[in-house]
Structure 1
Amino acid sequence: MGFMADVLLLLITIIFPPFGVFIISGCSVDLLINIALTSLGYFPGHIHAFYLEYVYMQRRDYGILEPYEPAPGVYSDAINTGGRRAYGALVVEETIVA
């Protein structure tokens, strides 16, 4: 995603936090937690959603794939890998020796 897509995601999250979480994680435990926190109060849902988006964007920019250490409180593989889904495949860099 580009800069404008990130800005749009943040604007959507300001208006309705669960929809912003749904965009990055799909239907997951993180979405259910965010819906529960938003129903408890508007600000807990925002804090949780912005934390998930921070983790997502940070890991997307660094290109983290498996094996990865899950972020605290994040249960979705889509967020923990920054949107890159390895589906259990171990990514190994090949070194060519001449």
Structure 2
Amino acid sequence: MSKKKFLKFNNDIQKSFNRVIGCDGSSSVLRNEIINKTNAKFDKKPLGHGYKELTIPPSSNGFRIEPNALHIWPRGNFMLIALPNMDKSFTCTLFMPIKGNF
């Protein structure tokens, strides 16, 4: 029989588990703990792209572009997406290479 496994959280609560799925990002605290406490191996390979959040503010008449459409503008190594907000602005995310000529 295998030994029962537990996770201990910052608030000192412990929970038993069979599997753990970590979704805490590229600087994962969970992954670092697993690596430090086991023989797990990890290889981090950056994508070479970054992102910048931009805003399309609302006009005096409301949304500047259609709020009920999917706005994705791919251009070579770049991509811009726009998602509507409740205040009639858009949050835009520009994905682009971190290095190189633009």
Q: TM-score, normalised by structure 2?
A: 0.24
Q: Which has the larger radius of gyration?
A: 2
Q: TM-score, normalised by structure 1?
A: 0.24
Name the structure where strand makes up a greater proportion of residues: 2
Name the structure where helix makes up a greater proportion of residues: 1
